Structure 1
Amino acid sequence: MSSEHKPKRARVRAPEPTGRGWLNTGGQPLRLSELRGKVVLLDFWAFCCVNCLHVLDELRPLEREFAEELVTIGVHSPKFEHEADPEALAAAVERYEVDHPVLDDPELATWRDYAVKAWPTLVVIDPEGYVVHEAAGEGHVEALRRIISELVTEHEGRGTLHRGGGPRVPPRQADTTLRYPSKALGLEGGTVLVADSAHHSLVEFAPDGETLLRRIGSGTRGAADGDPDTASFREPGGMTLLPRHVAERVGYDVVVADTVNHLLRGVRLADGAVTTVAGTGAQWRDEARGGPAAETALTSPWDVAWWEPAGGVVIAMAGNHTLGLFDPVAGTVAGFAGTTVEGLRDGPVEEAFFAQTSGLAVDEAAEERGEPRLWLVDAETSALRWIRPGERGFEVHTAVGRGLFDFGHADGPAAEALLQHPLGVAMLPDGTVAVCDTYNGAVRRYDPEAGVMSTLAREVAEPSGAITVEGELVVVASTAHRLERPVPPGVTAQLVEGAAHRVSRPATEIAPGEVELTVVFQPPPGQKLDERYGPSTRLEVSSSPEGLLVSGEGDGTELTRRLVLAEGFEHGVLHVVAQAASCDDDSGVEHPACRLTRQDWGVPIRLTPDGAARLPLVMGGMDAG
């Protein structure tokens, strides 16, 4: 259901946030009752979630603009077991430069109190302590700005607004050569290029992985091109070497996924010069998927790999669950795989579902045998997958992985093996695949011929990337801030009988049979739905496992839909994608702007006779049902 008018509803007092502890407050707890007079913004997030990381960056200018009126509180509600580790959360708060207080909510107590159903979710609380707005997903900054401005004006007039500084107490930061490195790339001569993510630069080491040879990038957040001392990045990620004949034509040797800038950068190794080669700096939100590289928006490119069968650089665009393709010679970007729906579905690349693809590796030995494969890891489905050419185009296959909510550390046959949020993948000299099993703190080995997963090393601090140097595996130990060689010579594998886990996020109880799905969206103040060229809204619904939905799957333009859930299922997931276009109204705006709001939900459900017959999902506004 959508409306241009705010529904009338009883005022709801915001529950006090409760959890295990607080960060960025000097250890002191915060209470909403002590923040009366301030507008409070709760940001429900998990550090595994790339959309949550987008929101952290979106909120920075808003927090500066309303520095004396607004208090942002991050409520960290973990998806994966590893995220519930307080040390891991403290590292993530530092890594991503979170500038506001953060509540550690490992049991999802505050998540439940606010009936949250998606990461990220934003909740606005007025200066008197009442919930006035909710929004799921990203891209809500302009709506928040208008809502906060209205609240400031209203409560200033009523004398209930109190200006002043916020409660944040910044933590101390250690000084290390690398800070949360993300990926590594082997160069000619055995040197290693490392993406030094939190230092926003690249570092080249001697073959020992410790002797620093040079740094490329000023170390400050930015997107400036130029020489190594003036160029800048924002949390750079994966890198790939171009074939020599291509590098000679385009004038650079390495393509870098400049993740938070939503750009690809080119680096000339001879002098370290950096140029922007793809992306606009804006995040891709619409359906435009290709065109000139400098005019085509990307979204969180996490890794890149030159793959000859595809004819260019494959881009793991974690932010919208797709793979792109960059042609350096033609200077173009095109869509390569994925639909933007987050999930695990194999088949033709144009129909496949991905889930925050974070690592790519080309199987060069297989290419020499005429059996090309591109390996990838999907972090949010804890999956190891591969792509290969088929008779009718490229096809996606899954080696290990079950879906959005299943993970663990278990070895053995692929159907029984489990990973936990892997971020990196590399080929081993024997043709097997090394997986950086990040949230298990392990390096795993998958044998494609035997279809068996095993463990090479444990107790590695968030491994996020790996390469082989002279036959030895070099791993990026991200939260240890260094490169490591955790696999002793001669060690091949050990089998681990680990436990299986499911996400602790509570499933929504739904009755089998007919259910009303309602996506709630109200345009922000001063805007109206954009119906100049037809319907302004779109809703796409699918489900897993197959057969869960008797009817209601597919695309449509209404944000309310009748679903029929099959009998005989106990659990499942509803995949819901909604979007709405809105524009400034005619109230004297000189240059009206239009915006597209989009959200992708994966809603775990439990079917029970006593379950609800209505499922509301708030994309923006307040549910009046």
Structure 2
Amino acid sequence: MTEPHASQPHAPRAASRVRASALSGRGWLNTGGEQLSLESLRGKIVVLDFWTFCCINCLHVLDELRPLEEEFSDVLVTVGVHSPKFEHEADPDALAAAVERYEIAHPVLDDPELATWQAYAARAWPTLVVVDPEGNIAAHLSGEGHVAGLRSLVQELVAEHEAAGTLHRGSGPYVPPEPVARDVRFPGKAISLAGRGSRPGTFLVADTGHHRLVEVDADLSSVVRAIGGGDPAEASGAQAELAFPTPAVRGHADGGPEQALFSEPNGMTLLPTEIAARVGYDVVVADTVNHRLRGLELATGRVRTLAGNGVQALIDSERAKRPAAVEPGPLPGDPTSLALSSPWDLVWDETAGHVVIAMAGTHQIHAYDPVAEELSLLAGTGLEGLTDGPAAEAWFAQTSGLSVDGDGAVWAADSETSALRRITADDHGVRVETAVGAGLFDFGHVDGPAEQARLQHPLGVAALPDGSVLIADTYNGAVRRHVPAGVDAAGRERPAQVQTLAQGLAEPSDVLVEIDADGAATSIVVVETNAHRLTRLAVPEEYLTVDEGARQTQRPRTPVVAGEHELRIGFAAPAGQKLDDRWGDPTQVKVSASPESLLLEGAGTSTGLLRRLRLNPEVAEGVLHVTARAAACDGEAGQPIPDHAACHLYQQDWGIPVTVHAEDAAPEQAARHLDLDLRGIH
């Protein structure tokens, strides 16, 4: 998983001709049953997109590639190589659902054993490899934001191979699946309208796959009304769904329920009635792929844009100049002029008087004040990982679910670290702590003491009146409950616990609790995304105890020699840019390990792209976690950087599984140094 960075003006060609490796995996999707090979694609420019469907950066790349695929439809073939991070993602049915959900209109290779991933030396999601019409690798790119460079490279390859007679124009191998009609399609989130809907007991559902909102009756299935989605026959400036025909249009437009358009909306929050009366709308919506917040007036169904300019947020120039600096607080400017990045969930914080935003795309927590019309950064450096502490130092990882408890603490489902986090504020500021979770590559389904419990990519949370928290444990197909530390009936201290309430659900992405007049929980409402429905569960009298084991992401391990080890990270600023050294060294590396004992020396954060590590010979295997950053600004080599020059922060995160060998017993291929490329270009 990587953080967004600025688009590069050109994707450099590979320095030497390297033959592309064969594509091998379990099978193919979107080909009508045909098994593809690179040989069958000779004459086409092929973009191999190594992705995994949990990864927000991979989803960004899917959206970045769509216009490129359309522009060069007769010469370019994108092949998605799905190389899973989580155990659940290796399920072929889950992959097929993800391909449908994200409207992927190109062939997809199912690579559950990461055979093709390893053949192309991919080290991070997403990775893009460009193969020319003769089957040679033309470029190798990591991360997102490469579309401008890719366009230039494709144009260059088209001209070169058309002149040589090696370019074949015509349709590609994509075969769309048969459409399926559904009332709701891949719903993402839901909220109770608390008596403020069209009739008592209704819920507002983010009908994510239909790019709209729907109000459903208390039976959880009868659609009362739809808001957004438009009419495909009248789509103007919007993208009608072609691969999966439905009564919906993807786009951005404000207006009444028939005119409004969304793009994969997710989280929503209901404002207090007095706040709604002041601002003129009742519900704030996370319009995820539009990178916007929208406001919905329930009485009329009218939709307006509250924040976001529709451009995916990149790290701003001030942060690029000072890679280590993060300053939570108000963001200057009209919120509708600011760039956001995949807002995924929202919750109203009564104590603070603002909407809390899970900004999944930049791994941060933001806030929006509807009365002041002000957007703020609440917590998070923008680095992806699991680090607690003050707001300015905390790391998040694709936060996708939020809830506020009775004490005003915000609970967050941090999906990529399979973690439950807690955000609190007092006179000393905002702090972040982890209740459940171990790191980016640790997951599982384990109940028991919270410090030992494991989740798998949770997307939703709901704080209960008794202080416990329900978790939509998405990739485990379960609803879990975190119970805080306390005292049992015998007066003994009890540590925080995690329990399983329900299993066998189809990617539950949100969970709500229905409360009676006495404040007691009467039932649990679950958004089952891959079952295309909301499900009501009884509150169980007894809880399951589950231990299906803890896991770590399984990727091919790199053999390394114990002892002194050199980490070298390459970076060259793109053409027309230069390293920004006005405030000192503009590069930075953070290194950590799982387990921590793997690293005897070399952990921590420092400037520079060279680090000396000392690996522990007593630890047989583990994962090295590396994050590298470099800041560059527009300017010419040898010249001062102009005032107000556009600046860019390049960042890449790697998790590298290793096996450690003693010097006298190391295999021949064991590495004594590790070379990484920040821009990921060979």
Same fold (TM over 0.5): yes
Check the 8 A contact 2:12/2:153 in 1, yes or no.
no
The reply to whether residue 245 of structure 1 matches residue 274 of structure 2 is yes
Q: Tell me the amino acid that sits aligned with residue 598 of structure 1.
A: Y
* CA displacement at 1:437 relative to structure 2: 0.6
| Structure 1 counterpart SS, 2:505 | coil
- In structure 2, what is the Cα distance between the partners aligned to 1:512 and 1:285? 38
Q: Which amino acid aligns with 1:488?
A: A
Asked if residue 410 in structure 1 is aligned to residue 410 in structure 2, the reply is: no
Deviation, structure 1 residue 539: 3.2
Q: 1:108 to 1:401 in 2, by over 3 A?
A: same
Structure 1 gaps of 5+ residues are 587-592
Counterpart of 1:45?
A: 51
- For the residues of structure 2 that align with 1:357 and 1:619, how far apart are their CA atoms? 24
Are 1:541 and 2:590 counterparts?
Answer: yes
CA RMSD of aligned residues (A): 2.5
1:574 equivalent in structure 2: 625
1:107 correspondence with 2:113: yes
Show the counterpart of 1:304. 346
Shift in alpha-carbon separation, 1:220–1:428, aligned structure 2, 3 A:
same
2:145 and 2:452 map into 1 onto residues whose CA distance is 38
C-alpha distance in structure 2 between counterparts of 1:613 and 1:199, whole Å: 52
Question: Which of residues 68, 78, 81 is equivalent to 1:62?
Answer: 68
Cross-structure match for 2:640: none
Residue in 2 that maps onto 1:602 = 654
Structure 2 residue aligned with 1:589: none
AA aligned to 1:612 is: A
Question: Does the 8 Å CA contact 1:184/1:193 hold for their aligned counterparts?
Answer: yes
1:475, distance to aligned residue in structure 2 (A) = 0.5
Residue 458 of structure 1 corresponds to which residue in structure 2? Answer: 503
1:334/1:507 CA distance change after superposition, 3 Å: farther
- Partner SS state of residue 576, structure 2: strand
Shift of the alpha carbon at 1:16? 0.8
Q: Which residue does 1:493 correspond to in 2?
A: 543
Separation of aligned partners in 1, 2:356 and 2:467 = 21
Partner SS state of residue 498, structure 1 = strand
**Partner of 2:472: helix, strand, or coil?**
strand
5 Å-filtered alignment, 1:267-416, equals: 267-287=296-316, 290-292=331-333, 293-364=335-406, 367=407, 372-390=408-426, 392-416=428-452
Q: Check the 8 A contact 1:536/1:582 in 2, yes or no.
A: no
Deviations 1:454-484, CA, capped at 9 Å, x for gaps: 1111111100011123431110000000000
- Aligned counterparts of 1:385 and 1:139: Cα–Cα separation in 2: 29
| Corresponding residue of 1:614 | 673
Distance 1:585 1:232, change over 3 A: farther
Counterpart Cα distance in 2 of 1:480 and 1:162: 41
* Aligned equivalents of 2:11, 2:355: Cα separation in 1: 47
Matching residue's letter, 1:39: I
Alignment partners' CA distance in 2, 1:380 and 1:234: 23
Distance (whole Å) between structure 1 residues aligned to residue 218 and residue 160 of structure 2 = 62
Give the corresponding residue for 2:224. Answer: 213
Residue pair 1:380, 1:421 contacting (<8 A) in 2 also: yes
**Partner Cα separation in structure 1 for residue 586 and residue 546 of structure 2:** 48
Instruction: Quote the Cα distance in structure 2 between the aligned partners of 1:410 and 1:429.
Output: 25
Structure 2 CA distance for aligned equivalents of residues 600 and 502 of structure 1:
21
What SS class does the counterpart of residue 393 from structure 2 fall into?
A: coil
CA contact (8 A) 2:46 2:132 kept: yes
Counterparts in 2 of 1:10 and 1:185: CA distance versus 1, 3 Å: same
Question: How far is the alpha carbon of 1:619 from its aligned partner?
Answer: 4.2
C-alpha separation between the residues in 2 aligned to 1:397 and 1:165? 52
Q: In 1, distance between residues paired with 2:541 and 2:71?
A: 55
The question of whether the paired residues in 2 share the 8 Å contact of 1:183 and 1:194 is answered with: yes
CA distance 1:146–1:520, change in 2 (3 Å): farther
- Structure 1 397/532 Cα, relative in aligned 2: closer, same or farther at 3 Å? closer
Q: Which residue of 1 aligns with 2:456?
A: 420
Which residues in structure 2 correspond to 1:121-136 (within 5 Å)?
121-136=127-142
Contact kept? 1:132, 1:622, Cα under 8 Å: no
Distance 1:339 1:417, change over 3 A: same
Letter in 2 for 1:257: A
Q: Which residue pairs with 1:590 in the alignment?
A: none
1:168 aligns with 2:174: yes
Using a 3 Å threshold, how does the CA distance of structure 1 residues 536 and 22 change in structure 2: closer, same or farther?
A: farther
The Cα shift of 1:519 comes to 3.7
Whole-Å separation in 2 of the counterparts to 1:357 and 1:31: 37
Query: For residues 417 and 426 of structure 1, what CA distance do their matches in structure 2 show?
Result: 18
- For the residue of structure 2 that corresponds to 1:333, the secondary structure is strand
Q: How many residues align?
A: 604
Residue pair 1:341, 1:600 contacting (<8 A) in 2 also: no
Q: For residues 634 and 56 of structure 2, what CA distance do their matches in structure 1 show? A: 27
Paired residue secondary structure (2:548): coil
Q: Tell me if structure 2 keeps the 8 A contact 1:284–1:298.
A: yes
Deviates more, 1:261-270 or 1:393-402: 393-402
Given the superposition, is the C-alpha separation of residues 253 and 110 from structure 1 closer, same or farther in structure 2, using an over 3 Å criterion?
same
Q: Could you tell me which residue of structure 1 aligns to residue 554 of structure 2?
A: 504
Give the CA deviation at 1:531. 5.1
Superposed displacement of residue 585, structure 1:
8.1
Higher mean C-alpha deviation, range 304-313 or range 101-110: 304-313
Change in Cα spacing, 1:8 to 1:138, as seen in structure 2 (3 Å) is: closer
Counterpart residue identity of residue 397, structure 1: E
Structure 2 gaps, min length 5: 1-7, 196-200, 231-247, 320-327, 486-493, 516-521, 638-644
CA contact (8 A) 1:343 1:403 kept: yes
State whether structure 2 residue 582 is matched by structure 1 residue 528: no
1:285-321 C-alpha deviation (Å, 9 max, x unpaired):
1136822312221111110111134441111011111
Question: 1:391, CA displacement in angstroms?
Answer: 5.1
Contact 2:291 2:312 in 1 (8 A): yes
Relative to structure 1, the CA distance from residue 108 to residue 415 in structure 2 (aligned partners, 3 Å threshold; closer, same or farther) is: same
Alignment-derived partner of residue 529 in structure 2: 478
Equivalent of 1:79 in 85, 91, 100: 85
The CA distance in 2 between the partners of 1:194 and 1:543, in whole Å, is 40
Kindly indicate whether the alpha-carbon contact (under 8 Å) linking 2:212 and 2:262 is maintained by their aligned counterparts in 1: yes
1:261 equivalent in alignment to 2:310 = no
Question: 1:510, 1:605 within 8 Å by CA — same for their partners in 2?
Answer: no
Aligned residue among 491, 509, 514 for 1:469? 514
Question: Separation in 2 of the partners of 1:410 and 1:503?
Answer: 16
AA in 1 matched with 2:205: V
Residues 1:143 and 1:579: Cα distance change in structure 2 (over 3 Å): farther
2:254 corresponds to 1:225: yes
Residue in 1 that maps onto 2:207: 196
Q: Which moved more, 1:321-330 or 1:289-298?
A: 289-298
Corresponding letter in the other structure for 1:57: D
Task: Rate the CA distance shift 1:121–1:241 in 2: closer, same or farther, 3 A.
Answer: same
Q: What TM-score do you get using the length of structure 1 for normalisation?
A: 0.91
CA pair 296-507 structure 1, distance change in 2 beyond 3 A: farther
Query: What amino acid sits opposite 2:402 in the alignment?
Result: L
Counterpart of 2:385, as a letter, is G
Residue 566 of structure 1 and its aligned partner are, at CA, apart by 4.4
Amino acid of the residue matched to residue 268 of structure 2?
A: M
Structure 1 residues 64-93: Cα deviation after superposition (integer angstroms, max 9, x where no partner):
111111111000000011100101000000
Report the AA paired with residue 227 of structure 1: G
